[in-house]
Amino acid sequence: SDFSLSDFVGKTVVLYFYNKDDSPGCTKEACSFRDSYNKYKSLGIVVLGVSADDKASHQAFSTENKLPFPLLVDTDLSIIKSYDVDGGGYAERVTYVIDGNGQIIIVDANVNTATHATDILTQLGK
C-alpha cells in the first residue's frame, strides 16, 4: 500500500534509508530496529525503512528477518532523490527523524548498523 508522511501527522517518524535488502550491514541495521521496535512503538514513533529494492525483495527480507515495520519500495528512486541520499542507483545509509509537525529534527549519516536504533533513541532523549 502507499504511504505518505501526512498519514502520520502528530507522530514522530524515523525514515531510515539503506543500501540493499540482505546485505550484511543493512540486515544488522534492520534487525537493530526490529529489536528496539517495542520501545519505538511504546513511544508512538513510526519506523519506516526505504531502499531501491522491489516489493518481492522487501517481502522476503522482511519475512526472513521478522521485521515488524514497513519497508517502502522506491524502485524509481523518487523518495531517495527527494531526501538527497541517492548513491548512484541505491540509497545511501542516512536516517531522518521527522516530528509530528513534519519538521526534520535529526539527520544521521554516521550510522553504526548494529546499534543504530538505540543510537536514534538516545539522540531523541529516550
Q: How far apart are CA 73 and CA 2, in angstroms?
A: 9
| pLDDT-flagged residues of the chain (< 50) | none
Q: How far apart are CA 6 and CA 91, in angstroms?
A: 22
Count CB-CB contacts under 10 A for residue 71: 22
Quote the pLDDT of residue 97: 98
Quote the pLDDT of residue 1: 64
Q: For residue 7, give the DSSP letter.
A: G
Q: How far apart are CA 18 and CA 16, in angstroms?
A: 7
Quote the pLDDT of residue 39: 97
Q: Which residues are catalytic?
A: 26
